[in-house]
Structure 1
Amino acid sequence: MSKATGMTSREKILAGIVVAALLIVGGIFTIGRVTASFDDKKDELVQLEGTIGKQETAIKRGNKAERQIAGWRERSLPDAPMRARSLYLDWLRRRAVDVKLDGVKMDTPSLNREGDAYVRHGFGLGARGTLQQLIQFLYDFYSVDQLHRITRLTAKPINNSKQLNIKIGIEAIAIPGAPDREALPEPERSDRLARKDVQEYVQTIMNRSLFSPANQPPKVEFVATQRANPNKEFRVSIPAKDPESDGLSFELEGDVPEGLRLDDRGDVIWTPSDDNLREEEYVVPYRVTDKGWPPKSVTGSLKIAVVVARAETPEDPGFDPATLATVSGITRSSLGPVVWINIKTEGKVLRLRAGDALSVGTIQGKVSKVVVGDKFAQFELSDGRVINVSLGRSLVGSGSTDLGGI
């Protein structure tokens, strides 16, 4: 009977080591496969997230573009070409009229299609105006949120004038699908411009004197002391002129006598009272400002002495030539009765018929009728009187009969 053999403890240890090694190797292989699988899934997830991100970005861009296009349609001219031209021409003309440009002319509009994207309308405007008017026009143009722009602008000085010859080329866009409108927007203060007040642009540009020499101040001539009488209206003009013929404005400065005023034409008007009688002269300070740019001013003063009016001396009427003018003849002619008037001071004889004018000294009027049978002539005078003068008598004095008013 054979004896059973068993594993020794050494063999058991070796066997355990081998089994453990196999388990470790197998575990490592399995873990590697699982890890590789997880990495692949992770890469796929990253790629999927990237694709989703790109699609979301594309959607956002599309939505933004759609909103932008919708905004452009609101600012666009109407889709219909004829309606677009009519609306914009009317709007452009009103802008020129509002700033008071002269000789406004509109060029024939043009039209260019840029594929299916939009239509470009071209407009042209010609006019005459000052630099300040041009600045106001440009301010109004750019303050409107409209799809338009100025493509050409020329402004040439006109000889011996402050006006410019202005020519402006404009493009305005119409986008397909743009709605019709009753009218285009009116200019208003807008955040679209760097400065909200047009006067800031006017001052900045006009102060540079781009098209003309620097503005010269008005000139005031010397005036001697003026005399005014109590309780009688006094009026005198400030003798001011502007070298460039700009308009002038006048204003009083400092203290002036009560009731004294200055009108827009530069006339000082005052009715002093008896209380204003005094030895000292009144000094009336004033300022004159021109309407050039920048405005220039000059100051001056007017001296007024209030004095009692001198008694008026009766005016000597002098010699009246009509006293030596006589009716020297009354005759008939083929054209009717004729009165002959001998003006001795001039050595001439007038032959007049009814309706003819008469002017001799104080006798001013016309012949109303000539009566041959009774030998007299009748005259209607300019003061309303009617006189009859007989043959051989003078036009005034005992030789004439005053019949009073007509």
Structure 2
Amino acid sequence: MRTRDLGIVIGEHPTGPNNAITDVAGVRVGHTTLDDAGPPHVHTGVTVVVPHDDIWTQPVFAGAHRLNGSGEMTGLQWIQESGELTSAIGITNTHSAGVVRDALVAAQVSARGEGVYWSLPVVGETYDGLLSDINGFHVRPDHVEAALGAATDGPVAEGNVGGGTGMICHGFKGGIGTASRVTDTAAGRYTVGALVQANHGRRERLRINGIPVGERIGAAVVPEPQLPTHYEPGSGSIIVLVATDAPLLPHQCTRLAQRAALAVARVGGSGEQYSGDLMLAFSTGNRGIPSYSWDENTAVPDPEVPVRMVAPQLMTRLFDLTIEATEEAIVNAMVAADTMTGRNGLTVHALDHDLLCQALATETRESR
């Protein structure tokens, strides 16, 4: 079940055929889900996003943004320095970011073989320790390999899957969500897709299409999870990945990543003190950027590389597509998720579809 299956439409621009990040040609997504009631409770996993099949040897331009920094995304220093994304992207739980990063290095070595090159893969994390045995280090390299092997360009599973298995969003069950938008220009059609791992936000701030859903489905209607003492509400983090086939330069990718943060705010996120709200945007519209690699058979690169860029006058439209796709991806993560009971008997309820539709219908009646 997805947001649009409930008759809820976010924004005004059309979606791609899958309404997913995979609508950007070449982008693939794979999950490995670890879901075991235990003991111990294991509700975690890994999600990978592959920008295109030759990402190890053909970087793409990228940019990043930090709304709040209580989190980690590896590889950002090189992206900020060079504007290049050189790897597949992994998303997992906080204490598994290292093993996922190492497994992506191994995947590059396997794909490229021996040579003089380095690997700085991008891995983002959010904290699933309220529902899962995060200190058990259950995500292993073979789980990353399986996610890479399962990566496909079709519809994307959402909710309690992959890295999002044990996540909580605005006091409801969260997880993985995705959406896309398209626009036609004189140069052809551009697609923008977003994928989120949503583990952030407070119930009372939740807004969908500007409607105070969190207030209308408060704790008296659907119980909120009983958080441990001293655990600040809204802690947890969100990772947003934005992909587009529009030919963007690195600074334009950074601008798209910034606008993804506006979508987090539109749904009610405020970058709480202990939330790691990190956004990465990449463009597949410029290919042929030379990779870092030398051996005796490597020719000296050409001194110039031809690139394209979207005209500044079109950036506002791409901003709109990014905001709409990210906003819907967050809501999709909640709509697709299932109620889960995890560590110490903690239960996190899914966002009830009937109650959601009633909250939105009430707003429609009151506005007349």
TM-score band (shorter)?
Answer: under 0.3
Give the TM-score normalised by the residue count of structure 1.
0.18
Give the TM-score normalised by the residue count of structure 2.
0.19
Choose 1 or 2 for highest CA Rg: 1
Structure with greater proportional strand content:
1
Specify which structure has the bigger relative contact order, considering alpha-carbon pairs within 8 angstroms and separated by 6 or more residues: 2
